[in-house]
């Protein structure tokens, strides 16, 4: 059987996402092209690699073996490019980072910019995930670096402090809750929400509501914190955003902000890797830079 690197990247992406659709997107392929490649891989090996169901896909025993070897090969390729990039003029390297919503929007842009400016030959493959998915992907070698919250199990990973992310509720300035010193998430469940269209933070909030036996009453879903704060300031509903975003937008969006008391609403963010010794040279350099943290 002959698999190329595109096949291997696709297969790992599909296994990590638990979905052919999402895996295809992560691998930069259309769904038809990805489906055809996966079928060709199974036909070439004369073996079933994925169990397909309504809720996604899971690898078979053969698929687990392929995913393991594919991660090893892809990691070695990344190490080769990183090591040779120090000597080969014009050779580019890529570091893959998985991060939660708060780090993606409020912390990483300012931290990545100076490092990328100083390393113009290195590209960043940056993708948003929930912290549990980040921990799993870094553990299995699908990503070199992760930025996640302290709420997940990370026993097998090396962690370095990155930042503190506090979630706050945002309202119109004349809202009944606007003058409260703090609130619990349960206090808000009767309100109408302005949600994120998608992303790890919204999935996290939906999960917290489900744990309380509730479902958020969403009036509208928007793509960014700027839109959520402006809608909240106009009295459309309640939003939950990182405190850093709320402070940045407080004046222009005309919002009131109140911290949430729930333990899960204050999260210590960490940079995580499987092993510093296994990192490519570019990834090791970036890890050192990111571990300086945010002030």
Per-residue pLDDT, 142: 82
Q: What percent of the chain has pLDDT over 70?
A: 96
pLDDT 10s digits, 202-212: 989 999 999 99
pLDDT 10s digits, 42-59: 999 899 999 999 889 999
Per-residue pLDDT, 86: 62
DSSP 63-94: HHHHHHHHHHHHHHHHHHHHHHHTTSTT--EE
Q: What is the set of domains in the chain, with CATH numbers?
A: 1-90 (1.10.10.10), 164-266 (3.40.190.10)
Q: What percent of the chain has pLDDT over 90?
A: 72
Split at pLDDT 50, 70, 90, the class of 293 is low
User: Could you tell me the pTM of the whole model?
Assistant: 0.76
How many whole angstroms separate alpha carbon 255 and alpha carbon 154? 36
**pLDDT of 267 above 60:** yes
């Amino acid at each position: 059987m002959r698999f190329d690197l595109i096949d291997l990247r696709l297969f790992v992406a599909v296994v990590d996402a638990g979905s052919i659709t999402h895996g295809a997107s992560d691998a930069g392929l259309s769904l038809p092209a990805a489906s055809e490649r996966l079928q060709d891989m199974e036909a070439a090996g004369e073996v079933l690699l994925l169990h397909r169901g309504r809720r996604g896909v899971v690898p078979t025993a053969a698929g687990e073996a392929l995913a393991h070897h594919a991660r090893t090969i892809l990691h070695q390729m990344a190490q080769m490019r990183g090591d040779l990039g120090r000597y080969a003029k014009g050779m580019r390297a890529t570091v893959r980072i998985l991060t939660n919503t708060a780090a993606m929007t409020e912390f990483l842009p300012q931290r990545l910019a100076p490092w990328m400016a100083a390393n113009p030959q290195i590209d960043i493959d940056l993708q948003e995930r929930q912290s549990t998915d980040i921990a799993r992907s870094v553990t299995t070698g699908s990503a070199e670096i992760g930025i996640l919250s302290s709420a997940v199990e990370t026993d097998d990973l090396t962690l370095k402090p990155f930042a503190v992310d506090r979630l706050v509720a945002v309202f119109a300035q004349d809202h009944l809750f606007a003058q409260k010193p703090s609130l619990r998430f349960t206090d808000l469940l009767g309100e109408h929400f302005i949600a994120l269209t998608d992303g790890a933070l919204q999935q996290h909030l939906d999960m917290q509501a489900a744990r309380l036996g509730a479902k958020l009453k969403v009036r509208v879903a928007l793509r960014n914190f700027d839109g959520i704060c402006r809608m909240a300031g106009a009295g459309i509903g309640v939003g939950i955003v990182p405190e850093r975003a709320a402070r940045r937008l407080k004046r222009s969006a005309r919002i009131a902000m109140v911290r949430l008391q729930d333990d899960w609403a204050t999260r210590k963010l960490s940079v995580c890797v499987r092993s510093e010794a296994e990192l490519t040279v570019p990834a090791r350099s970036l890890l050192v830079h990111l571990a300086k943290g945010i002030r």
